[in-house]
Amino acid sequence: MDAPFYIVLNASAGRVEANLRCATIRNVLNAAGRDCELAVVHDAAHLDDTARRMAERAARDGAILVAAGGDGTLNTVAHAAVMYGCVFGVLPQGTFNYFARTHGIPEDLADAVRALLHARVRPVQIGLVNDRIFLVNASVGMYPRLLEEREYDERRYGRSRIVALLSAAKTALRGHRSLRIALELDGRTRHLRTPTLFVGNNRLQMEQVGMRPLDHALDAGRLVAIAPRPVGRLRMLGLLVRGALGRLGAAPDVDAFAFRRMTVRRPLLSGRRRLKVATDGEVCRMALPLRFEALDGRLALLVPDQEEEVAPAGAAAAALPPGPPHGRQAG
């Protein structure tokens, strides 16, 4: 109960907003008599290094590592938490905040900080694609492009769910070339043609788009793949509308299935050997093949609980499977 909080805060919203958030965090924790250290990141290029440095110190000092920002920030800091075996806390500051909402973490900053004070540790599942983890989703094809367009529109018109949805509709109407990929599942190869392959690791998001009963697969240590069939622009827009209305699972133009491990390859005659991949809203290029995997219980997350106490950081780390997920090592 007396473990300090080492907080990584993404200040992309601006210095004034960042100062207000820092003041809120400090005021709540000081009033509760809890120590904290804030690392404010003004340049996203420094986020990964800052997260690793704070995670290393948190592991050494028995502190709780906390991310304050959107899903992309949470992803980066959570990766460092898994790497160093830290307990992980969340102060959501994004547009949709799927990860935080799934685990009952308040979206209001002051309430989220108070929730850290009355929380317990819950081991939760993360997804992995090659050397990158994802908390909410990962995707290839049209969806990474949609995220890039949304980021551009939100810089112009502000961050809101309405702007995000209108931006997605605009991207759908522009059309997108279909991917031809081969999926290796359970020793079998399945050939697929789709504008986008979306892999979900968040039950709330699956419920909201209407992917029942596959949303329950996430509770059984699996991930959910969604692949629309090649359709025209208006029908693609219709799929987005169905998703917004929670009826995507009933669409005849969508293939969906659950899995624990999956490998994505391109046909032998295809020239491209790298694809854009989005993980929790962050887009990068990855070399093929892409290997997706569900890692059950790998992240020690603080979740609100008024009746149970927070487990000691060392105990939570000991409960985790040994070692980092794969790939990236501490520098």
Q: Are 105 and 124 in contact (CB under 8 A)?
A: no
Burial degree of 313 (CB within 10 A; 0-12, 13-18, 19+): buried
The pLDDT score that the predictor gives to residue 58 is 98
pLDDT tens sequence across 1-32: 789 999 999 997 677 889 999 999 999 999 99
Report DSSP letters for 63-130, one per residue: PEEEEEESHHHHHHHHHHHHHHT-EEEEEE-SSS-HHHHHTT--SSHHHHHHHHHTEEEEEEEEEEET
Report how far Cα 28 is from the mean position of its chain's Cα atoms.
26
- pTM for the predicted model, two decimal places: 0.83
The pLDDT score that the predictor gives to residue 323 is 44
Cα-based torsion angle of the residue sequence 109, 144, 296, 48 in order, rounded to the nearest 10 degrees = -60
pLDDT category at 267 given cuts 50, 70, 90 is: low
Q: Which domains does the chain have, with CATH numbers?
A: 5-125+298-319 (3.40.50.10330), 137-279 (2.60.200.40)
pLDDT category at 101 given cuts 50, 70, 90 is: very high
The pLDDT score that the predictor gives to residue 144 is 83
- What is the pLDDT averaged over residues 144-153? 77
pLDDT category at 159 given cuts 50, 70, 90 is: confident
CA distance 230 to 136: 25
